Amino acid sequence: MSFVEHKECPADGDTVIVYLNFNLFYALTLKAGETFQTKYGALRHNDVIGKPYGSRVPVKNGYVHFLWPTPELWTLSLPHRTQILYARDISLTVFNLDLKPGSIVIESGTGSGSMTHSLARAVAPRGKVFTFDFHQQRSEIAQKEFDAHGLGELVKCAHRDVCADGFGLEGVADAVFLDLPHPWLAVEHAVKALKDSGGRICSFSPCIEQVQKTCDKFRELRCGEITTLECLERPYEIKKIQMAKQSGDPTRGLEYFLGEDGLPFDTTPASEELKLESAEGLGEEQITKKPRGGKTNGARRDPGGDQILTAVPSVNIPGHTGYLTFATFFGRTEANISNCGAVLQDHEGIPDSS
**Cβ of residue 263: shortest distance to other proteins, in angstroms?**
40
For residue 25, the SS3 value is strand
Q: Which is nearer to other proteins, 306 or 348 (CB)?
A: 348
The response to whether 346 counts as a known ligand-binding position is no
Q: Which is nearer to other proteins, 185 or 254 (CB)?
A: 185
Alpha carbons 342 and 297: distance in angstroms, whole number: 90
Q: Which is nearer to other proteins, 162 or 301 (CB)?
A: 162
Gyration radius of the chain over CA positions? 31
**Cβ of residue 59: shortest distance to other proteins, in angstroms?**
14
In sequence order, the 6+-apart residues with CB closer than 8 A to the CB of 325 are: 202, 203, 204, 205, 211, 214, 215, 218, 226, 227, 228
Q: What pairing do the DSSP bridges indicate for beta strands 41-44 and 104-108?
A: unpaired
- Work out the number of other CB atoms within 10 angstroms of the CB of residue 221: 15
Angle at 146 between CA 142 and CA 148, to 5 degrees: 115
Taken as a whole, the chain contains a residue count of 354
- What would the DSSP string read from start to end of 99-149? --TT-EEEEE--TTSHHHHHHHHHHTTT-EEEEEES-HHHHHHHHHHHHHT
Q: Which is nearer to other proteins, 77 or 247 (CB)?
A: 77
**Cβ of residue 115: shortest distance to other proteins, in angstroms?**
11
Q: Which is nearer to other proteins, 112 or 175 (CB)?
A: 175
**Cβ of residue 204: shortest distance to other proteins, in angstroms?**
14
Alpha carbons 339 and 317: distance in angstroms, whole number: 50
**Cβ of residue 315: shortest distance to other proteins, in angstroms?**
14
Sign of the torsion formed by the C-alpha atoms of 96, 102, 103 and 107: positive
**Cβ of residue 87: shortest distance to other proteins, in angstroms?**
7
- Write phi, then psi, for 121 (nearest 5 degrees): -60, -40
Sign of the torsion formed by the C-alpha atoms of 10, 15, 18 and 22: negative
Q: Which is nearer to other proteins, 148 or 221 (CB)?
A: 221
**Cβ of residue 226: shortest distance to other proteins, in angstroms?**
7
**Cβ of residue 314: shortest distance to other proteins, in angstroms?**
9
Q: Which is nearer to other proteins, 35 or 77 (CB)?
A: 77
Residues 157-167 as b/e (b if ≥16 CB within 10 A, e otherwise) read bbbbbbbeebb
Backbone dihedral region for residue 194 (phi beyond 0: left; psi -120 to 50: alpha; all else: beta): beta
Angle at 106 between CA 321 and CA 85, to 5 degrees: 20
The response to whether 179 counts as a known ligand-binding position is yes
Q: Which is nearer to other proteins, 67 or 185 (CB)?
A: 67
The response to whether 161 counts as a known ligand-binding position is yes
Residue set of the binding site: 133, 161, 179
Q: Which residues are annotated as a binding site for S-adenosyl-L-methionine?
A: 133, 161, 179
